[in-house]
Amino acid sequence: MDIIIGAGVSGLSYAMFHGGDYVILEKDDTVGGYCRTTRRNGFVWDYSGHFFHFQDAHIKELLMAGITPDAMVNVDKCTRIKYNDRLIDFPFQKNIHQLDKNEFIDCLVDLFQSGGNDYQSFKEMLYAKFGKSIAEKFLIPYNTKLYATNLDNLDSNAMGRFFPYAEKEEIVRNFRHATNTSYNGSFVYPREGAIIYINQILRHINSKKIHTSSNVTAIDVNAKEVVLSNGLRLHYDRLISTMPFVRLLDRASVEYDPAVYSWNQVLVFNIGFDRKGTNITDHWLYFPDKEYCFYRVGFYDNILGSNRMSLYIELGFDKNAVINADNWLPRVLEDLKLAGIVDDNQKVVDYESIVMNPAYVHISESSRRDVAQKKEQLAELDIYSIGRYGSWTYCSIEDNIKEARELAKLNSQ
């Protein structure tokens, strides 16, 4: 029997593709992991923004089967950066011509004086590819707020294809003909929230095989048993884990260097107001300035076309931070006004807060190497770790589904 730890996208997808004899253990009282939705008082909120960019035709067909076109919105992404008193189109490096003249010249000169491939860290890569001014005006302060760490601690390719690289010639061409394209220039979003995708996967799974409120506290690799918080022991032939990789190592009593593994936490506020606010039409805004406590604000109302403002607001914290959401709410509301997003006439109708821990893992050369070694070691014990946190990586939800599909195919041979 396969035991699957975690009823998020990765765990459910593995069960869907593999079938056979399995049981899914989920520590929370509901399924979905971070891909959940709250629908309350007329608002639709996710655990932060989940916007799908389908690249795999089979996965798209699988997740969209039975969903009517009017249940989805197709969105051409519009995002900007709050930089001083301006809103600059994203990505910053392709829109430096929107800065004032002196700053534009600084960025342009530094860009053409940049170069070389002698860099190791994420921060060094930013300086080498974009120059001092672009790096220090946006790329370094924003990503420092996001990851809540010194960017020298991250691998130069920590964000992989998700980082909006641009060559010098492309940046210059953008001065006249804007092509602010990136890996996710458009996306689809369900009107009822991201949980719709989870529900689509659940259509292919026997619900009796899913056990919520089942927290795995230990793994006996010799006896091939998982131990639950209530003391129950379950035998497995194969163990598929989607929990954060370090927690799997702890539960399986696998020795590792804690210094290799780091991550941030993200505090998310979903806030609904009684009316629309200022005339911001973006789908989300980026905030590199330390003046604002948040690094990103998203507008559900602009995505869904609703008549009341509905926001998600994200704040980054160190992995060891103790976060009290109630203490942060007044500051968030104050900074939303400071940024010109809400005004004194708007009233909060409803809100919720969520702490994502981990949120973004810190990918370094040592973490890549150690994860690969430990996953190989665990596979010899019939333990497989998958998913964004199970593989300790930066990826999309579709990537999670593809990884689960590949492992299910391998284990079915």
pLDDT for 9 equals: 96
pLDDT for 308 equals: 97
Residue 252 pLDDT class (50, 70, 90 cuts): very high
Q: Bridge-partner residues for 218, per DSSP?
A: 227
3-state helix, strand, coil in the chain (%, to 5): 35, 25, 40
Side chain identity, residue 81 = I
- Tell me the DSSP string of 277-344: -SS---SEEE---TTSS-SEEEEHHHHHT-SS-EEEEEEEEETT----HHHHHHHHHHHHHHTTSS-T
pLDDT at 179 over 70: no
CA angle 163, 50, 46 (to 5 degrees): 140
pLDDT for 163 equals: 85
pLDDT for 184 equals: 58
Nearest residue to 212 via CA among 31, 5, 34:
31
Extract the tokens encoding 271.
Answer: 């806030």
Per residue in 355-388, pLDDT tens?
Answer: 999 999 999 999 999 999 999 999 999 999 999 9
pLDDT at 407 over 90: yes
pLDDT at 209 over 60: yes
- Cα–Cα distance for residue pair 34/388, rounded to 1 Å: 11
Per residue in 312-333, pLDDT tens?
Answer: 999 999 999 999 999 999 999 9
Per residue in 54-90, pLDDT tens?
Answer: 788 899 888 888 889 899 998 888 999 999 999 999 9
pLDDT for 168 equals: 82
| Whole-number Cα distances in Å, 302 to 78, 114, 295, 363 | 10, 38, 19, 33
3-7, 87-91, 163-167, 299-303, range with the lowest pLDDT: 163-167
pLDDT for 117 equals: 84
**Which of the two residues, 358 and 174, has the higher pLDDT score?**
358
Residue 345 CA neighbour count, 13 Å, CB half: 5
pLDDT for 160 equals: 83
pLDDT for 33 equals: 94
**Which of the two residues, 161 and 227, has the higher pLDDT score?**
227
154-158, 276-280, 294-298, 315-319, range with the lowest pLDDT: 276-280
pLDDT for 367 equals: 96
Residue 180 pLDDT class (50, 70, 90 cuts): low
183-192, 290-299, 311-320, range with the lowest pLDDT: 183-192
174-183, 270-279, 293-302, range with the lowest pLDDT: 174-183
